[in-house]
Chains A and B, each alone.
Chain A
Amino acid sequence: MLKMTDVSKIYRTDTVETHALREFSLTVDEGEFVSVTGPSGSGKTTFLNIAGLLEEMTSGTYELDGRDISKLNDRERSRVRNEKIGFIFQSFNLIPELNIFDNVDVPLRYRGLNAAERKRRIEESLDMVGLASRLKHQPAQLSGGQQQRVAIARALAGEPRFLLADEPTGNLDTHMADSVLDLLSEINSNGVTIIMVTHELTLADRAKRNIFVRDGQVTDAAPEFLRAANG
């Protein structure tokens, strides 16, 4: 499903060179629920950006669904993001000017689906997250948990092969966080591959496999300081 081999990412300025990922290798099979954990600055978000085709890697190989991603141009990368990947962001990233229906509709329009098909998918996905009655609401009229559910519905509406979740409960209280994680588990049980980036080990434990990142590389086990920080 996802295979990264010796992926590096270097951010360069005139005077500074920052190695965000160093020979990062990871394989995720179809249907897995994988958490990626690490301290701040470890390279989690860089990994997520490269896995989600939001950034280009400096070197290495990345195959998604059997396809070499490094050869794709911007238009093709956009298409892969749109058709194969669903994103769930920490700050929900709903578009404040659009109502719930239009927010879920955004990626579907970019796919070029007809109006009837889009409407069906939007209603189904919002129904799945329990917000079918809030179609005309604005994001600001919903709680944080509800907004994250809308974001999940938006990700699911495109019927992606895998979900990338970036600290999906970072802005939620414990109760809402549990609810969102329950939803992710349910989605995973339906066959969708999930990669969840988080710095909280307790949340990472909800995944079926945990990956630990430190200094831009995959490590075998959670470092002690991370366990200590998480209690």
Chain B
Amino acid sequence: MEFGPIWRALLRNKGGAILIALQIAVTMAIMVNSIAIMQERATNMQRPSGMDEANTLTFASISFAADADLRATYINDLEMLRNTPGVINAVGTNSFPLRGGGWSMGLQTEPGEDMGGVGAAIYFGDEHMIETFDVELIDGENFSPEQVVFLDPDNFRWEPYVIVTEALAKTLFPDEEGSVVGKTAYINQNDPVQIIGVIDQLQAPWQGWDDVEHALFSPVKRAEGFARYVVRTEPGMRDELLPQLEEMLASADKTRLIRGAQTFDEVREGAYLGDSAMIKILGFVITLLTIITGLGIVGLASFNVSRRTRQIGIRRALGATKPAIMRYFMLENFMISSVGVIVGGALAIGLNIFMVETFALTPMAWWVVPVAMIILWLVGQAAVAGPARRATRIAPSIATRSG
């Protein structure tokens, strides 16, 4: 291999090579950090919400009649929904995972101010929540119908029982090795709530929240002008039932509107629209930069082939085979690319450290830098292949032409 002569020749004519190496380095730094961001977003998007997403739908009921009996409507709606063939269960709630809006409160193990509360999303609902959300009760028990009350907006108080996610339980009682069922926590600083059950996993409504796995059920039915229903169907029935259920509720009470009918797939898509767009944009930027870098390499290699036409002829005259000429340009590009990816690797790591410290980004995975290096090496080799192949077609008789 002609590493030494090629390196020394590059040092004597380094302008173009340095520019290309710099271009590769910048592309590498941007590519690596873009991949890290894309990977973080993609990982977030793949987190389970905890619900039976494939078979869950939701819609809202908005009553506009001044004298409407909202509690009767609420009870009637849920009875109709639960009795519809194909529906496993339904619940009225204030929110659900990935919705983007909802309630959160601080929970603490001791009453009083400044006791270091743990944030938790609040889901109001009755004893049908567990089955409707398809979460597993791993400890304790479900709400009994007697524990569930209608919310009184004029005299709100926290009901004394809660069911919490396992993640919330572990954060609240980190030293507890046994069951947390029966333990008391304090909501709103001083209102005691007893943990009667623990469910395996359920996300908060805000997918970007640090405490996204902290959620609790509170045994409260909200029969207000705006009611949100979540319905879980038999497998494969969701899409068929969605318009039917919407029509059924709309027909049952003409003094309200049914709005926001969505499958949970649509909820998820909406929740991660920004992340999805970010992944596409960064993917486009990486592709564009890589293409521009590839074109730069093609340009430099083509220029070098033209500039070295006579030199190539001399090499051929002195015994270089066509593959040897090809190898020369490929190797030269490999060396330029190597400088670029090594500098780019250092730049990428530096930029990632800066982004982690400044924007609380997750540090990139170890494999991103070597993968980006391999990609850029391959792009370089692919880009130089065309000009290098042209170089092999230069005749050795060029060497005897005057000039």
Identify 7 residue pairs between A and B in the complex whose beta-carbon atoms are under 8 Å apart, listed by A's number: A78-B321, A87-B317, A90-B402, A93-B399, A105-B5, A106-B318, A107-B318
State which of B13, B320, B399, B400 has its C-beta within 8 Å of the C-beta of A97: B13
CB B95 to nearest CB in A, in angstroms, measures 70
Count of residues in A whose CB is under 8 Å from the partner chain: 34
Task: Given A52-B317, A95-B311, A110-B320, decide whether A81 and B13 contact each other with a Cβ distance below 8 A.
Answer: no
B178 surroundings in chain A (CB, below 8 A): none
Q: A45: CB under 8 A from chain B?
A: yes
Say yes or no: A97-B319 contact (C-beta < 8 A), given A48-B400, A89-B400: no
* A98: Cβ under 8 A from any B Cβ: yes
| B396 at interface, CB cutoff 8 A | yes
Chain A residues within CB distance 8 Å of chain B: 45, 48-49, 52-55, 74-75, 78-79, 81-83, 87, 89-91, 93, 95, 97-99, 102, 105-107, 109-111, 138, 154, 158, 166
A166 to B318, CA, bound (A): 14
B399 touching A78 by the CB < 8 A rule?
Answer: no
Contact of B322 among A53, A74, A91, A138 (CB under 8 A): A74
- Whole-angstrom distance between the alpha carbons of A182 and B319 in the complex? 27
CB closest residue in chain B, given A45: B400
Q: Return B365 CB to nearest CB of chain A, in Å.
A: 41
Say what secondary structure dominates the interface of chain B. Answer: helix
Partner of A93, one of B13, B314, B320, B322: B314
Tell me which residues across on chain B come within 8 A of A52, comparing CB atoms: 317, 400
- Chain B contributes a number of interface residues (CB within 8 A of A) equal to 27
Extra A-B contacts (5), CB below 8 Å, given A99-B8, A105-B5, A110-B321: A81-B396, A87-B317, A89-B399, A90-B402, A109-B5
Let me know if B175 is at the binding interface, CB within 8 A.
no
Residues of A within 8 A of B5 (CB): 98, 102, 105-106, 109
- Once the chains are docked, how many angstroms separate the CA of A91 from the CA of B403? 7
Cβ–Cβ contact B399 & A81, under 8 A: no
Q: A78 and B319: CB pair below 8 A?
A: yes
- Scoring A49, A138, A158 by chain B CB atoms within 10 A of each residue's CB, the highest score goes to A49
In the assembly, what is the distance between CA of A97 and CA of B11, in Å?
9
Residues of B with C-beta under 8 A to A95: 9, 311, 314-315
The CA of A154 and the CA of B317, in the complex, are separated in Å by: 12
Q: Are B314 and A54 in contact (CB under 8 A)?
A: no
* A-chain residues with CB within 8 Å of residue B314 when the two chains form the complex: 89, 93, 95
Which residue of chain A has its CB nearest to the CB of B320?
A110
Alpha-carbon gap, A74 to B320, bound state (A):
10
**0/1 string, B162-203, CB within 8 A of A gives 1:** 000000000000000000000000000000000000000000
A106 with B315: CB separation less than 8 A: yes
Q: Which residues of A contact B316 (CB under 8 A)?
A: 54, 78
**List of A residues within 8 angstroms of B4 by Cβ:** 102
For chain B, residues 1 to 17, give those with C-beta under 8 angstroms from any C-beta of chain A: 2, 4-5, 8-9, 12-13
CB contact list, B233-274 vs A, under 8 A: none
Query: Does B371 make an interface contact (CB < 8 A)?
Result: no
**Residues of A with C-beta under 8 A to B287:** none
> Among residues 362 to 403 in chain B, which have CB atoms less than 8 Å away from a CB atom of chain A?
395-397, 399-400, 402-403
